[in-house]
Amino acid sequence: MKKIILLSAVVTMLMTGCSTSSSTNEETQTTTMVSVDTTKLKAGETFYQCEMHPEVLSDKLGNCPKCGMELTKRIKK
């Protein structure tokens, strides 16, 4: 019985350690983004925005540095 409890504890620690290290890697990965001030854009100009994080704006197509989703093309109205 003690061996089963010990084995369960070791497996849990290993699983927790693996998930923590992978999320840390994701957080340290950064994408160079050029932020866009949409108030300075003229009507018809293009910018890119994250669907999940609307505060993430760029002048180039790429991925959101927060969630990794592809940025969506937007046109200033």
Res 38: pLDDT: 83
Structure token digits, residue 28: 């340290």
The gap from C-alpha 54 to its chain's centroid, in whole angstroms, comes to: 13
Burial class of residue 47, CB neighbours in 10 A (0-12, 13-18, 19+): buried
Mean pLDDT per segment of 10 residues, for the chain of length 77 residues?
A: 72 60 42 72 93 94 96 95
- φ and ψ at residue 67, rounded to 5 degrees: -120, -10
Q: Whole-prediction pTM value?
A: 0.55
Res 32: pLDDT: 55
The gap from C-alpha 26 to its chain's centroid, in whole angstroms, comes to: 7
